[in-house]
Amino acid sequence: MLNKIRDYCRDLLESKKVEGILAVYTENGNYFPYFFTKKEELNNLCIDKKYLLLNSVKPLRENLVFLLQSKMPGKRIGILARGCDERALFELSKRGQVNLDNIETIGYSCNEEQAKICTCPTPYPTVNLKFGEKVEGVSEHKRWKEFSQLDIEGKRKFWEKEFSKCIKCFGCRNACPICFCKECLMEDRKFVKGGELPVEIPSFHFVQRYHHAAQCISCGECEIACPMDIPLRLISFVLLNRVKKLYDYTPGMNPKQECPIYTIKEERNEEALDELL
Amino acid sequence: MSYYNVLTVCPYCGSGCTFYLQVLQGEIIGILPNKNHEISQGNLCIKGWFANEFVTHKDRLKKPLIKKDGNFVEASWDEALQLVAKKLKVYKPEEVGTLSSAKVSNEENYLMQKFTRTVLKTNNVDHCARLCHASTVVGLGKSFGSGAMTNSIPEMENTKCMFVIGSNTTEQHPMVAKFMMKAKEKGAKLILADPRKVVWSKFADIHLQQRPGTDVALLNGMMNVILEEGLEDKKFIEERTEDFESLKEVVKKYNPEYVEKITGIDKQLIVEAARMYAKSEASAIFYSMGITQHTTGVDNVVSCANLAMLTGNVGKVGTGVNALRGQVNVQGACDCGALPNVFSGYQVVTDEANRKKFEQAWHVDSLPDKVGLTVTELIGEAAKGNIKALYIMGENPMVSDPDLKHVKEGLSNLEFLVVQDIFLTETAQLADVVLPAASFAEKDGTYTTTDRRVQLARKAVDPPGEAKADWEIISELAKRMGSNEFNYSSPSDIMDEISRYTPIYGGISYERLKEKGLHWPCHSKDHPGTPILHKEKFSRGKGKFWAIEFKEPAELPDSEYPFILTTGRVIFHYHTGTMTRKVEILNSEVPTGFVEINPKDAKKMALFDNSTVVVSTRRGSIQIPVKITERVKEGVAFIPFHFAECAANELTNPVLDPVAKIPEFKVCACKIERAS
Amino acid sequence: MSKSEFEPRIVALLCNWCTYTGADLAGTARMKYPPNVRTLRVMCSGRVDPAFVIFALQNGADGVMIGGCHIGDCHYAKGNYSSRRRAVILKDTLESLGIDPRRFRLEWISASEGDKFAEVIKKFTKELKELGPNPLNKGAQDA
Ligand code: SF4
Ligand code: SF4
Ligand code: SF4
Ligand code: SF4
Ligand code: FES
């Protein structure tokens, strides 16, 4: 697959269809995101190591793709996208964070091993899959069995312990492509006391989980960034499942479908929801 | 259009995380953690995540400054260096000194000591390791023959028992704490000895809240229990150590009852801790400033080493005596000879053969043979007028050193002070000449982590204005002072010289570091590096037991100064705050200093959270807000030292450990009064 | 503290146009309802950020209630639609975090329904008494 992708990218660059291609670069065993503009560089292009390309650059809090777009307005940018890159792209475009028009998405699928690392239910781009085959994703969090057996007090104790490990690095938020708020509630000193460890439980961790109830694109970056292995996405899985059941909505699947929590389009008959209250 | 990432080393703590600087069109826009790194594993602490913010801060020094009639005036490099060269030449070797820095690279530290020794012709070079781990260098040197962390960080995931004494690891070395937490999750035991209730306390199997400064008694007490119950590793003691009998003799009287009286720890806990440590398959000791920053710093370190040897917990995976070093390159600065008694690689200056070797290497007729002055002595001698000129690179003694009033006296008394830094620090403000330096993001260089891992940091952007890398500045200055030995075209050149003359760095080169770091000792080009020290035998041959008696700290509370004051750090800031206080999110987490006191004490004085108090000691007093918390015991007060406006070090006691010359930051007597 | 003497603290975030007036009515008409409730006026149930609920629960409330206009009556047309959608998700979030979702309610009470308000508070108080003190409340943990 690698060679095919390189050839394809070479064509894109040679034919000047795109200004450059955002992908992962490897050198001396290390790898990092890179904007390829010369075809000779494509020998260093790598597809087996993941860095989310749609990264929300901290501390700026702008998306990398947005920054690239604003540096070269009107120019076309290629993105060698995995499933999560595509999903992030769609969710961000709904919120005006990137402009889909000038993006050439070159989609490719991940393997099962990668899906395990990310705990990813959809390890491929659903719309722009160009290279590779769809493989089965992971639809259950690795600690779900243990967690789901707990009663309510057990769950509280579970989090009391897990959240006490938190060192307030903000990694979970910094690594998240969907976290781009200029004023983040996790930094609101009235809501979460500043300068204290352990952090206030549960407000600090509540924020991101709740905000992304219907936005989380299941890229796994928050848990990968967590030095303390806190299983934050146990909560996300519950919420995403609920949103899927109620509104048939999964973030990142369709760039046209609006987020049901924040946009109430039609006043549809939703009395059924009262049952859940 | 260009967007790329430059792999570099986090400029803060000694854990040694690496990360990428994201560069868009020649500008650093952000940070990405390195997913392909043994320690980082895609993680960073909050300081690392925002480490690019100070690099582009508007207050960066951009031009050399010369003080004229009490005001700084911008100058050209030519003028500034000419002035420094002229001035420094006036003094006799014993009248000048330099402070090197744990924040700059190995190459730059090496050059600073070379400059001091060959151009200034004195051994008066030191750096702030004196203030943190001088006791380690001496203590572990005495016991094992090498003054560095014995094991490596990632292997700690597989230890079975962790004994953490005098280290608030979660806050000071978050990425080391990560591996300890992993071990904990896998079932390892955690014994914590800390006078404060810290984040760890919740996870500790045993928490020993000793009275500050009584660590030797506690450690002797644990050894007493181990010997009483026959839990020592007889084979290890027999085969690998010496002088066991003398230790045995001394610890006899430290029975749990006696130790309880000294330390205030329940004797049963001491017994349990001793058993837990001795019985596990692999036990590791972790310590930091809570052990070293005492007048008995060396004693404390040696006692940790005793305990480890007694139970055979050295030289194996997941064991050892793990000194966690505070700053990014405090290990490297020591390795590269920025110390008054050794050349690079701990080759002592009093040894004629070593001097010969370096005389030949550096093409000089003779090198000074007298051990130079330490940081604290340099400042003391400056106050007395014996030291007349100082050249300080990347250090801020005006916040970091004990008894700041005295430091100010010393520095103000100098005839000539040069400070080389990235910001106009509290110290730089006192200087006659200020030289603008490049930050970590603006130069190549290697840094050595707390676990002896030499890592390569790469230049991402050019320094702001006319600022230059420290190695360039030193070389320039040396040339102007008549030396021909500073012709380097890049830091890589300097590393080649280091490896040529420093056996422990013998196999290290930029080429090899491109992929990943190497643990010293690494003697030759094909040596794989040494993650675990003292495997088959100790560096000094046999491990040596030292019989140590408990001594009280130099200053104890009395009726006038009833509180014990102890100092430390918080996770959100770093050292003197020069860098972290320029970062928005860190400032908003912790905007200024505070003094922690126990609710019971607060009640007695009718204090509320955030009310302002005056904390005073025999040295000075500061105004500071109160934080009421169970973290500290009754009678103990804690102040983080990062904040110049309420600097803990106005208060601390500059008494020194007799050998390591480390000041007693961790204990002094203070009083607390309501501010009027 | 035994459960019988435990008096729960309720924070009620009430819409200015309906429930707040309803509560007022309940008060002036001297309808009997337990004194456990602290009311706060908001301009619309849709104004309530779920973070407010967490904040209250973390800082001493045993239960939190949002009161809004009946569906179709919201002054801002869709405010209560979104508050309902959010409330459903919030309940799930609370439950996943180990906070009993019954500590949080969303109720539709119009300006004239003073009796309903009194009724709801009565029911809520009773339910919270059964649940006992909120374990997130630091004071409650020590007791
Ligand atoms: S989150 Fe899914 S799509 Fe993205 S890299 Fe991981 S497995 Fe692939
Ligand atoms: S919350 Fe976590 S999994 Fe979801 S989008 Fe953000 S980083 Fe990815
Ligand atoms: S946690 Fe919430 S407020 Fe903070 S950046 Fe993410 S989405 Fe925005
Ligand atoms: S990444 Fe983990 S440790 Fe860091 S703030 Fe998030 S939960 Fe806490
Ligand atoms: S105005 Fe009452 S709910 Fe919106």
Q: Are B299 and B218 in contact (CB under 8 A)?
A: no
Q: Residues lining ligand 5, CB < 6 A?
A: C 15, 17-18, 44-46, 68-69, 74-76, 79-80
Token digits of residue B29:
């826009």
- Rounded to an integer, what is the distance from CA B662 to the centroid of its chain? 11
C-alpha triplet C130, C136, C142: angle, nearest 5°: 90
Q: Are A8 and A118 found together in one domain?
A: yes
Question: What is the residue-averaged pLDDT of chain B?
Answer: 93
In sequence order, which residues have a C-beta less than 8 Å from that of residue A98 and are 6 or more positions away? A54, A63, A65, A66, A69, A89, A92
Q: Average the pLDDT over each of A219-233, B297-311, B473-487, C126-140 and give the range with the smallest value.
A: C126-140
Region B185-210 average pLDDT: 90
Assess whether pLDDT exceeds 60 at residue B603: yes
User: Is A167 within a domain?
Assistant: yes
More confident residue, A170 or A272: A170
User: With an 8 Å Cβ cutoff, are C92 and A203 in contact?
Assistant: no
Residue A169 beta carbon below 6 angstroms from any ligand 4 atom: yes
Backbone angles phi, psi at B416, to 5 degrees: -150, 125
Q: Are A179 and A262 found together in one domain?
A: yes
Ligand 2, pocket-test mutation among A94, A205, A226, A233, most atoms within 8 A of CB: A233
Domain that holds residue A102: 2-131
> Which residues of chain A neighbour C138 with C-beta distances below 8 Å?
none
User: In B605-632, which positions are buried (b, 16+ CB within 10 angstroms) versus exposed (e)?
Assistant: eebeeeeebebbbebbebebbbbbbebb
Region B472-482 average pLDDT: 96
In sequence order, which residues have a C-beta less than 8 Å from that of residue B559 and are 6 or more positions away? none
CA distance A235 to A150: 13
Helix H or strand E segment including C11? strand C10-15
Q: Are B616 and B651 in contact (CB under 8 A)?
A: yes
> Virtual CA dihedral for B242, B245, B248, B249, nearest 10 degrees?
-140
In sequence order, which residues have a C-beta less than 8 Å from that of residue B427 and are 6 or more positions away? B392, B395, B396, B397, B398, B399, B411, B419, B421
Considering only the beta carbons, identify the residue of A155, A260, A274 that sits closest to C97.
Answer: A155
Q: How far is C65 from chain A (nearest CA, A)?
A: 11
Region A128-133 average pLDDT: 95
> Can you list the alpha helix ranges (DSSP code H) found in B481-609?
491-501, 510-513, 584-589, 599-604
More confident residue, B676 or A197: A197
More confident residue, B167 or B219: B219
Query: What's the pLDDT score for residue C61?
Result: 94
Assess whether pLDDT exceeds 60 at residue A99: yes
Q: What is the atom index within ligand 5 of the atom nearest the CA of C18? A: 2
Q: Are A127 and A148 found together in one domain?
A: no
Backbone angles phi, psi at A12, to 5 degrees: -60, -45
CA distance A150 to B173: 33
Judged by 3 or more CB pairs under 8 A, whether C touches A is yes
CA distance B150 to B139: 13
Which residue in the block uniquely carries the two structure tokens 């860098």?
B579
Q: Are A171 and A249 found together in one domain?
A: yes
Token digits of residue B272:
């349990």
pLDDT in tens, C104-124: 999 999 999 989 999 999 999
Ligand 1, pocket-test mutation among A46, A118, A221, most atoms within 8 A of CB: A118
Query: What's the pLDDT score for residue A268?
Result: 57
Q: What is the atom index within ligand 5 of the atom nearest the CA of C16? A: 2
User: Is A251 within a domain?
Assistant: yes
Q: Does C88 touch chain A (CB under 8 A)?
A: yes
Query: What's the pLDDT score for residue B392?
Result: 96
Question: Regarding beta strands B283-287 and B320-323, do their DSSP bridges make them parallel or antiparallel, or are they unpaired?
Answer: parallel
Q: How confident is the model at residue B69 (pLDDT cuts 50, 70, 90)?
A: very high
pLDDT in tens, B253-289: 999 999 999 999 999 999 999 999 999 999 999 998 8
A-B Cβ pairs (cutoff 8 Å, strict): 137
Domain ends where: A131, A154, A185?
A131
Q: Are B437 and B419 in contact (CB under 8 A)?
A: no
> Can you list the alpha helix ranges (DSSP code H) found in B345-481?
352-362, 375-384, 397-400, 404-412, 470-480
Q: How confident is the model at residue A260 (pLDDT cuts 50, 70, 90)?
A: confident
User: Is C118 within a domain?
Assistant: yes
What residues does B339 pair with on adjacent strands? B342
Q: Does B584 touch chain A (CB under 8 A)?
A: yes
Separation of CA A141 and ligand 2 centre (Å): 13
Share of chain B above pLDDT 70, in %: 100
Ligand 5, pocket-test mutation among C14, C17, C21, C48, most atoms within 8 A of CB: C17
Query: What's the pLDDT score for residue B581?
Result: 86
> Can you list the alpha helix ranges (DSSP code H) found in chain C?
19-28, 50-58, 79-97, 114-131, 138-142
Assess whether pLDDT exceeds 50 at residue C141: no
HSE (side-chain half, CA atoms, 13 Å) at B4: 18
Q: What is the atom index within ligand 2 of the atom nearest the CA of A223? A: 2
User: Is A114 within a domain?
Assistant: yes
User: Is C84 within a domain?
Assistant: yes
Considering only the beta carbons, identify the residue of A156, A210, A264 that sits closest to C93.
Answer: A210
Query: What's the pLDDT score for residue A266?
Result: 57
Query: What's the pLDDT score for residue C4?
Result: 56
Q: Does B170 touch chain A (CB under 8 A)?
A: yes
CATH number for C79? 3.40.50.960
pLDDT in tens, C60-93: 899 999 999 998 889 888 888 889 989 999 999 9
Q: Are A231 and A271 found together in one domain?
A: yes
For domain B65-131+328-519, give its CATH number from 2.60.15.10, 3.40.1350.10, 3.40.50.300, 3.40.50.740.
Answer: 3.40.50.740
C-alpha triplet B151, B153, B159: angle, nearest 5°: 75
Separation of CA A130 and ligand 1 centre (Å): 15
For chain B, how long is the longest CA-to-CA vector?
A: 73
Task: Give the type of residue at C7.
Answer: E
Ligand 3, pocket-test mutation among A178, A186, A221, most atoms within 8 A of CB: A186
Examine the predicted complex and report whether its ipTM is higher than 0.90: yes
User: Is A138 within a domain?
Assistant: no
> Virtual CA dihedral for B570, B572, B576, B578, nearest 10 degrees?
180
CA distance B497 to B475: 14
Query: What's the pLDDT score for residue A269?
Result: 57
Domain count, chain C: 1
Query: What's the pLDDT score for residue C28?
Result: 81
Nearest alpha carbon to residue B631 among B197, B166, B168: B197
Query: What's the pLDDT score for residue C143?
Result: 33
Q: How confident is the model at residue B417 (pLDDT cuts 50, 70, 90)?
A: very high
* Bond before B491 cis per omega within 30 degrees: no
DSSP state of A78: E
Considering only the beta carbons, identify the residue of C85, C87, C100 that sits closest to A260.
Answer: C85
Considering only the beta carbons, identify the residue of C54, C71, C86 that sits closest to A261.
Answer: C86
Which residue in the block uniquely carries the two structure tokens 């928490």?
B207
Q: How far is A245 from chain C (nearest CA, A)?
A: 12
User: With an 8 Å Cβ cutoff, are C88 and A185 in contact?
Assistant: no
Q: Does C129 touch chain A (CB under 8 A)?
A: no
What residues does C37 pair with on adjacent strands? C10
CATH code assigned to B563-674: 2.40.40.20
Q: Are B88 and B110 in contact (CB under 8 A)?
A: no
User: Is C139 within a domain?
Assistant: no
> Which residues of chain B neighbour A198 with C-beta distances below 8 Å?
199, 202
Query: What's the pLDDT score for residue C142?
Result: 38
User: Is C122 within a domain?
Assistant: yes
HSE (side-chain half, CA atoms, 13 Å) at B66: 12
Q: Does B2 touch chain A (CB under 8 A)?
A: yes
For chain A, positions 14-33, list CB contacts with chain C under 8 A. Answer: none
Q: Are A155 and A119 found together in one domain?
A: no
Domain that holds residue C127: 10-131
CA distance B271 to B223: 10
> Which residues of chain C neighbour A271 with C-beta distances below 8 Å?
71
Separation of CA B183 and ligand 2 centre (Å): 26
Token digits of residue B554:
């130099």
CA distance B390 to C95: 63
Q: Does C70 touch chain A (CB under 8 A)?
A: no
CA distance A32 to B673: 54
Helix H or strand E segment including B612? strand B612-616
Which among A190-199, B22-31, B659-668 has the top mean pLDDT? Answer: B22-31
Region B541-549 average pLDDT: 94
Q: Are A236 and A171 found together in one domain?
A: yes
Considering only the beta carbons, identify the residue of C54, C78, C92 that sits closest to A203.
Answer: C54
The CATH architecture to which B150-324 belongs is: 3-Layer(aba) Sandwich (3.40)
Question: What is the residue-averaged pLDDT of chain A?
Answer: 92
Query: What's the pLDDT score for residue A276?
Result: 76
Token digits of residue C124:
């809520």
Q: How far is B415 from chain A (nearest CA, A)?
A: 42
User: With an 8 Å Cβ cutoff, are C88 and A273 in contact?
Assistant: yes
CA distance B401 to B425: 14
Query: What's the pLDDT score for residue C140?
Result: 44
Q: Are A8 and A76 found together in one domain?
A: yes
Region B545-562 average pLDDT: 92
Task: Give the type of residue at B130.
Answer: R
Assess whether pLDDT exceeds 80 at residue C5: no
Domain count, chain A: 2
Query: What's the pLDDT score for residue C138?
Result: 64
Q: How confident is the model at residue B424 (pLDDT cuts 50, 70, 90)?
A: very high
Query: What's the pLDDT score for residue A265?
Result: 60
Helix H or strand E segment including B622? strand B621-628
Q: Are A45 and B531 in contact (CB under 8 A)?
A: no
Domain residue limits, chain B: 65-131+328-519, 150-324, 563-674
Q: What is the atom index within ligand 5 of the atom nearest the CA of C47? A: 4
Residue A169 CA: distances (Å) to CA of A228, A277, B178, C22: 10, 35, 12, 45
Considering only the beta carbons, identify the residue of A206, A271, A273 that sits closest to C93.
Answer: A206
> Which residues of chain B neighbour A197 with C-beta distances below 8 Å?
170-171, 199, 571
Separation of CA A174 and ligand 4 centre (Å): 10
Which residue in the block uniquely carries the two structure tokens 């940070």?
B31
> Which residues of chain A neighbour C84 with C-beta distances below 8 Å?
270, 273-274, 277
DSSP state of C1: -
> Virtual CA dihedral for B462, B400, B288, B329, nearest 10 degrees?
20
